[in-house]
């Protein structure tokens, strides 16, 4: 049946290259206000803008059962998909779950997955409207989320020269939490970081308001790490970004976790993934209500061709680790 068996396998090819193969198959279309490749697709339906996205949590690739309860898995799967909707400045409104489960999964665990997912939907005022169930040898949750916006959704490509780069929440906590879960024995005070991995943040209210009030000009979520995703945003906007390392929001437990994990703060905070926080472009200062959510100004857009440069105390940062010991709650903005 013409399944090629040559040596050129998808495992040898980078995900970015596979995704670019996909986008060559996706048509450009006048009804797509934002082209494929952004966090979510934007559909125009009458006078309304909808955004729609799909993401998956697969056993073995994204999680192991020892890392979270079935209820946490269901909850997390919704939050991961909803993150793309948040990053478009939209509110998640409807969800569909295509679930694959092994036949030997306990019925109670199945119910717990569903209950966690439904709780996450309820907490977001999102309605689970459909689903599918299939049997396989590994658990997988493929979650489609549809969001709605009262204004034009935020693209990652619309930042302007001179915009400031802002970020929600903290960076590196989820990456630390994920690595801690792999240890045979957890050190003290691991739980806040682990919980950050287990339960990605809910940023739709914040981002929805930043969008509807015209404060943010562009946004995307951080799923593959600050450096990688900021680079994508810079390329999409045809600009460069200068990031101030001394302004990054870091949970107070993360530096110690880095030591314990025998890694660096730089790896966790700048390179670590699964934050599901939102990067957005905006003005130098934000209204009080936005500042009260803990957002941080961490850099600035400049003319350029998609490069991200890192600065520390005014000098370009080329290699090594972010110095530890500073107070992450001090300083900017």
- From the list 121-129, 153-161, 245-253, 260-268, the region that binds its own copies by CB under 8 A is 121-129
Distance separating the N- and C-terminal Cα atoms of the chain: 60
- From the list 122-130, 160-168, 208-216, 243-251, the region that binds its own copies by CB under 8 A is 122-130
* Position among 4, 14, 305, 319 found at the interface with its own copies (CB under 8 A): 4
Residues from 267 through 306 that contact its own copies (CB under 8 A): none
Does residue number 19 form part of the binding site for its own copies (CB under 8 A)?
A: yes
3-state secondary structure (DSSP) of residue 164: strand
Nearest to 268 by CA among 196, 220, 202: 196
* Position among 75, 90, 142, 282 found at the interface with its own copies (CB under 8 A): 142
How many residues bind its own copies (CB under 8 A)? The answer is 88
For its own copies, the closer CB: 40 or 243: 40
Does residue number 111 form part of the binding site for its own copies (CB under 8 A)?
A: yes
With beta carbons less than 8 A apart as the criterion, state whether 79 and 223 touch.
Answer: no
Does residue number 183 form part of the binding site for its own copies (CB under 8 A)?
A: no
Rounded Cα distance between 141 and 200, Å, is 16
Instruction: Work out how close the CB of 259 gets to its own copies at its nearest, in angstroms, rounded to a whole number.
Output: 26
CA 83 to chain centre: 6
3-state secondary structure (DSSP) of residue 282: strand
With beta carbons less than 8 A apart as the criterion, state whether 121 and 132 touch.
Answer: no
Nearest to 38 by CA among 219, 166, 169, 212: 219
Residues from 54 through 93 that contact its own copies (CB under 8 A): 54-56, 58, 60-62, 65-72
Instruction: Work out how close the CB of 6 gets to its own copies at its nearest, in angstroms, rounded to a whole number.
Output: 5
């Amino acid at each position: 049946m013409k399944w090629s068996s040559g040596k050129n396998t998808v495992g040898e090819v980078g995900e970015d290259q596979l995704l670019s193969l996909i986008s060559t198959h996706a048509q450009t279309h006048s009804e797509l206000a934002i082209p494929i490749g952004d966090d979510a697709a934007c559909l125009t339906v009458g006078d309304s803008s909808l955004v729609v996205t799909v993401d998956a949590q697969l056993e073995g690739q994204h999680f192991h059962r020892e890392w979270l309860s079935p209820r946490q898995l269901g909850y997390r799967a919704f939050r991961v998909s909803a993150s793309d909707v948040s990053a478009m400045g939209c509110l998640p409104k409807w969800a569909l779950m295509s679930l694959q489960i092994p036949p030997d999964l306990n019925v109670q665990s199945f119910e717990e997955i569903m209950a966690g997912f439904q709780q996450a939907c309820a907490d977001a005022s999102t309605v689970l409207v459909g689903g599918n169930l299939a049997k396989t040898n590994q658990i997988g949750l493929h979650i489609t989320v549809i969001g709605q916006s009262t204004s034009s959704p935020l693209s990652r490509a619309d930042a302007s020269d001179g915009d400031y780069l802002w970020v929600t929440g903290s960076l590196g906590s989820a990456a630390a939490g994920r690595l801690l879960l792999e240890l045979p024995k957890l050190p003290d005070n691991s739980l806040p970081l682990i919980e950050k991995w287990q339960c990605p943040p809910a940023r739709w209210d914040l981002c929805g308001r930043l969008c509807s009030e015209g404060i943010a000009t562009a946004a995307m979520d951080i799923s593959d790490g600050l450096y990688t995703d900021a680079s994508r945003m810079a390329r999409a906007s045809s600009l460069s970004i200068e990031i101030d390392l001394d302004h990054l929001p870091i949970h107070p437990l993360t530096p110690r976790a880095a030591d314990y994990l025998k890694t660096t703060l730089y790896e966790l905070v700048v390179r670590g993934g699964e934050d599901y926080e939102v990067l957005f472009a905006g003005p130098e200062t934000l209204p009080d209500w936005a500042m009260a959510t803990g957002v941080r100004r961490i850099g600035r857009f400049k003319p350029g061709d998609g490069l991200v440069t890192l600065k520390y105390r005014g000098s370009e940062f080329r290699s090594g680790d972010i110095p530890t010991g500073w107070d992450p709650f001090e300083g900017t903005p």
